[in-house]
Chains A and B, each alone.
Chain A
Amino acid sequence: MSAPVVATRRVLHPGHARAERVVTAVGPRARRALVWLGEGQTLKAALVEAFAVFGAHFGAFHLLGGRLCVAAYHTAVPDDGSARAVEYGAPTEIAGGATILRATGSFGNDLSGAPLIHVHGGLSDRLGCTHGGHMNPDLCVIGSGGVRAILMLTVGFAQVVDRETHFSLFFPVSEALRDEPVEDFGDHHRSRGERAVGAE
């Protein structure tokens, strides 16, 4: 018996769809590093420092476990007053902090070239209830015992203004190619190992 067919919904975005729907970059040799993120730092500060130790400007990471003494995340919902398909609301702070069940993130440069962290995670509060969403790395603070993280180096992301969604989003970039000249491809992105930079 075949599986039931369920219709999927599409989201209408304010801008024209990009020509390239699946953008890739290649890191020729994967490198990883297992680190502890130190107590008392914000999640962003600790991750930026950890990547800097390895000279990495781009990367991805998992948070394998540990405690946040301040834990805050966002969820997104449609907003009739916005041109964008969804908007992120104010941060939800988990009372008493949280234990990290699993979190995944991307690391790279924002539009100005400064370090940027994008991280989503599942968190457990002091009663054992789970929460999940877009973690706020500027508000989350690492608690006692630190947070264990595995960093993936050599491939990562750089922020680009996305005319389709009207968000500034991460697109893949390879550390191995980061010194090559950056061209402006407008809404078209090169794939397969070439730096994906576009828009404004």
Chain B
Amino acid sequence: MRLGPNEDLIEGLDQAAAQLGFRRALVRSGLGSLTDATFEGEAGTPRRLHGPAIEILAISGEIALDDDQAGPSAGVSGLVGDTTGAVWSGRFVSGQNPVCITVEAVLEEILAVKT
């Protein structure tokens, strides 16, 4: 899959899963760039890395479009590099990770989830 500029990383992964008819999916790989990156922080305060461009080095996690049926998902976490090459990591906050140029990712459908 490919996400275009200014799409949100997490919302875009959800949308791709929905387009493909996946209720649950693993994020097998992903790379690309973000305008800014926002990770979950302590006490609910997001941690923001300012770009552009923040390079996505690796992402992994779980897409769940059926939270009510199989429990919550692990979310999507990743490793990113800032404009100086320094590396940061964390769990991405939905709606706060806009794509800068492009994101390429591979999703794999999960057919059964044991609750």
Answer whether A22 and B4 are a contact pair too, CB < 8 Å, given A6-B38, A92-B85, A120-B81: yes
Contact B2 A196 (CB under 8 A): yes
Interface residue SS majority, chain B: strand
B18 and chain A: residue at smallest CB distance: A22
B32 and chain A: residue at smallest CB distance: A120
Contact A21 B20 (CB under 8 A): no
Q: Does A141 contact B (CB under 8 A)?
A: no
Contact B5 A11 (CB under 8 A): yes
Across-interface contacts of A121 in B (CB, < 8 A): 57-58
Contact B1 A23 (CB under 8 A): yes
Contact A21 B3 (CB under 8 A): yes
Within 8 A of A (CB), among B26-62: 28-33, 35-36, 38, 44-46, 48, 52-53, 55-59
Answer whether A132 and B55 are a contact pair too, CB < 8 Å, given A21-B7, A75-B84, A170-B104: yes
Across-interface contacts of A62 in B (CB, < 8 A): 29, 58
Answer whether A122 and B98 are a contact pair too, CB < 8 Å, given A76-B33, A130-B86, A169-B2: no
Within 8 A of B (CB), among A99-151: 101-106, 118-122, 130-134
How many B residues touch A, CB cutoff 8 Å?
53
CA distance A3 to B84 in the complex (A): 29
Answer whether A120 and B56 are a contact pair too, CB < 8 Å, given A3-B93, A170-B104: yes
Contact A102 B83 (CB under 8 A): no
CA distance A162 to B45 in the complex (A): 36
Across-interface contacts of B86 in A (CB, < 8 A): 130-132
Contact A119 B58 (CB under 8 A): no
Q: Does A13 contact B (CB under 8 A)?
A: yes
Tell which of B4, B28, B101, B102 touches A60, judged by Cβ atoms closer than 8 Å.
B28
Contact B46 A9 (CB under 8 A): no
B33 and chain A: residue at smallest CB distance: A76
In the complex, besides A17-B4, A24-B2, A120-B32, 6 extra interface pairs with C-beta distance below 8 angstroms are A9-B36, A26-B20, A76-B33, A102-B57, A169-B101, A171-B2
Q: Which 8 A-B pairs give the minimum distances between C-beta atoms?
A: A132-B81, A130-B87, A132-B87, A120-B31, A76-B53, A24-B1, A21-B4, A23-B2
